[in-house]
Structure 1
Amino acid sequence: MDFFLLLALGATGAYVLNHQQQRRRIALLARHLHPYQIERLMEQLTQGYLRAMGEQGDERRQQVLSLLAESETQLVEQFERFVDDFRRVPTALARVSRLPLGLPFATQLLPAATFDMRELLAIHAAGMGRALRNEGNLAARERAFTMTAELLLMQHSCHWFCKSKTVASARMLARHQTPHAQLLASVSPETRRSYLALTGPV
């Protein structure tokens, strides 16, 4: 009986500590995102891309995509400034656990199983910039598809930073019906290589 009581108390304590750490991470990320309109621009672009993909004719699809050009540029520029701001976060606060589930003090106790969120955000900024410039010379439809994947993978990383990889993947699947592995397969090869080199295998 005493063993199970101690086990329950330990589990409760771990949950409370983990919840507090996650709230601090959410607050940290929100504080750095606050000066920008990144979330609004992301929503505008993803909805615009969906609308464009629903158009039957190439001419009409291109018209819709052309209307999004200014928002794409604004988003990439704002995200790059956000990444520069986030570089000032102390290393200890920027570490992210590779463990599938969030555990209290995981980044401190298992530093080898972590990566730097500042580096990951820079990878996402580079990927979004490549998609904006269309360095892969993709057709308009494929370019919009790639940019969407770059944006959603970045969103997954933010959820991973705030909660855990498992929670981030579950949210992506629930909100966008897109598995994490599919996102990785849909971004540019450069983003995928850099991402996997930093975060480890899927």
Structure 2
Amino acid sequence: MDFLLTLALVLALSFWMTKAKLQQQRIALLARFLSGFSIEKNIETLTEGYLRALGEADPGRREQVWNLLRTTEQALCTQMRQFANDFAAADAAATRVSKLPIWLPLASAFAGSFDMREALRVHARGICRAIDEEGAGSAKDRAFAISAEMLLMQHTCHWFCRSKTVASARMLARHRTSYEQLVGAVLPQTRSDYLGLVSLARRA
């Protein structure tokens, strides 16, 4: 009995150490490619700016805020495209992401996986598509679409570093938005490309 308990503890410790090591490696990899960009800062600026514009009662001042955000939107689009292009040079073995909701050793080998490099290309296209859709609906609808695209990209980054379940819990806690709501809020083309990539029904 003592032997079995000791074995279980050893296996649990080994599992935890392996998980922590691999997650730290992924965080470091993503941070290395992100370090040359202002993507996170631009997302924060846009998120706060959209809330400010939507809360502005005066139409003139509201339009002024929308216009001021255009430069940041274009900067985000440009940087996301470059980030996705740069990340494409990462080692293929280090960019596989398990499609299972929780982290398990070697899960990508038996349960299917997707390539983070392709996921970032999907998100870059989606963000830029939403930004470029001038005149497609109201300014509020456009801001909503861009916000959804940004949040789904962040969810994928957390999925890559941790797991789908952790990413979804973080999204729900910070933004009060479920994973299903988020996927439903992005542009149709993004949703189609994204689900085609990460769905368990599609093995890669």
Is 56-65 or 175-184 further displaced after alignment?
56-65
Tell me the distance in 1 between the aligned counterparts of 2:200 and 2:138. 30
Q: Give the secondary-structure state (helix, strand or coil) at the position aligned to 2:10.
A: helix
| Matching residue of 1:199 | 198
Cα distance change of structure 1 residues 57 and 183 upon mapping to structure 2, 3 Å threshold: farther
- Structure 1 stretches of 4+ with a deviation exceeding 4 A read none
Partner amino acid, structure 2, of 1:50: L
Partner amino acid, structure 2, of 1:118: R
Deviation at 1:56, TM superposition (A): 3.0
Deviation at 1:58, TM superposition (A): 4.1
Deviation at 1:51, TM superposition (A): 1.1
Tell me the distance in 2 between the aligned counterparts of 1:40 and 1:10. 41
Partner amino acid, structure 1, of 2:161: C
| Matching residue of 1:73 | 74
Gaps of at least 5 residues in structure 1 are none
After superposition, the C-alpha distances for 1:31-71 in whole angstroms (9 at most, x for unaligned) are 00000111111100111111112123444332211110000
TM-score (ref. length: structure 1): 0.94
2:56 is the alignment partner of 1:47: no
RMSD, aligned α-carbons = 1.6
After superposition, the C-alpha distances for 1:112-143 in whole angstroms (9 at most, x for unaligned) are 51001111111101111111110681211100
Q: Give the secondary-structure state (helix, strand or coil) at the position aligned to 1:115.
A: strand
Gaps of at least 5 residues in structure 2 are none
Deviation at 1:4, TM superposition (A): 2.3
Partner amino acid, structure 2, of 1:165: K
TM-score (ref. length: structure 2): 0.93
Aligned residues: 200
2:162 is the alignment partner of 1:189: no
Deviation at 1:15, TM superposition (A): 0.8
Aligned-pair identity (%):
49
| Matching residue of 1:38 | 39
Is 78-87 or 131-140 further displaced after alignment?
131-140
2:134 is the alignment partner of 1:132: no
